[in-house]
Amino acid sequence: MKRLFLFAAKVAISALLFYLSLRLVNLNALQERLNRIEPPWIVAMLLGLGVQIGLASLRWQRIAGACGVAIKFKKALHYTLIGAFFNQALPSTVGGDAARIWLVARDADGWKGAVSSVLIDRASGLIWLALLVLLCLPWSLALIQNPIGRTALILIGIGSVAGPLALFAITRVGRIWLDRWRPTRQLAELAETAWKVLASASIGIAVAALSISVQLLTVLVAWFAAKAIGSSVSLLHSLLLIPPVILIAAIPVSIAGWGVREGAMVAAFTFAGLSDTDALAISVLFGAGLFAIGAIGAIGGLVWIFGGERVRIAAPANGAPPGAP
């Protein structure tokens, strides 16, 4: 019942925010933008998202190896596509992460490395996204003159980086206190593992390069979406505005980020003096592209369901019950 309520709440949030975004723009202008879509730019957008999936899979493979879990790139790519499918099919990106954990735990004959690799992969992506927002902050503040928009941008960038840094600091300073309880002890162990992985020269540099590449591809894909509708939004505009929007959309309060992403995109473009209609059209195309990649992942999901993966996950090799930590 609780899960059903949370799902209904997220559906309501997505619908409400999407409705409010539609209320803020000129619907005739929006339809006109979408009617003049240029297919070559849509193809470029989908190719960019495909390359992004490949780089994200490579990053996860590197992190998993550092966590003691050996995954071949082909399998990492397969599981990432399955995760993309669940990200679109379930209320939040947590569904995709859970699918990857289940699959890797079965292959690795253990849960600890699987959980650590997926959670550290997710955290590293968000941390480097937040750092990109901070790095672009001087130029973003020059673009956005609205006081509310400037304040929100500063809080988003600093807050997103401060959280993980505070967690790492607490685990190193107050480890004795955290070890008293199992949940906090496991959190401290995970943070310590993440710190070792991300701070190591051999793995950390590769993870940083791949994470930044993934985020820059997001910027490029959004610009492709802008070109597809004939928008005047430049690549620089995309670099300064898209990362904060993606950071906000990562908050798991809606269905696959729908509604939150559109509302944040419209607000960001409005604060920057750009067309809110273009913002909504770009966001819709971007979301549709993610859905298309998720549909490709659905093929992997069907293989997983009908190819015996589901049965083997239900009975892990190490004898742990389904859902065991």
Domain segments of the chain as ranges: 36-314
Extended beta strands in the chain, E state: none
Query: Exposed, middle or buried by CB within 10 Å (0-12, 13-18, 19+), for 181?
Result: exposed
Give phi and psi for 264, each to the nearest 5.
-65, -40
Please give the radius of gyration of the chain, using alpha carbons only, rounded to the nearest integer. Answer: 20
CA–centroid distance for 102 within its chain = 19
Distance CA 64, CA 96 (A): 16
Question: pLDDT value at position 324?
Answer: 35
In the chain, how long is the greatest CA-to-CA distance? 61
Q: What is the pLDDT of residue 292?
A: 86
Q: Residue 306 CA to chain centroid, in angstroms?
A: 28
Ranges of the chain whose pLDDT falls below 50 = 310-325
Count other Cβ atoms within 10 Å, centred on residue 94.
Answer: 13
């995760």: which residue's tokens? 83
**pLDDT for res 184:** 67
Question: What is the pLDDT, as a whole number, of residue 238?
Answer: 95
Is there a contact between 230 and 38 (Cβ–Cβ < 8 Å)? yes
What's the confidence (pLDDT) of residue 63? 92
pLDDT at 300: 60
B/e letters for 274-307, b = 16+ CB within 10 Å, e = fewer, are bbbbbbbbbbbbbbebbebbbebbbebbeebeee
Q: pTM of this prediction?
A: 0.83
- 39-62 in b/e burial notation, b at 16+ Cβ within 10 A? eebbebbbebbeebbbbbbbbbbb
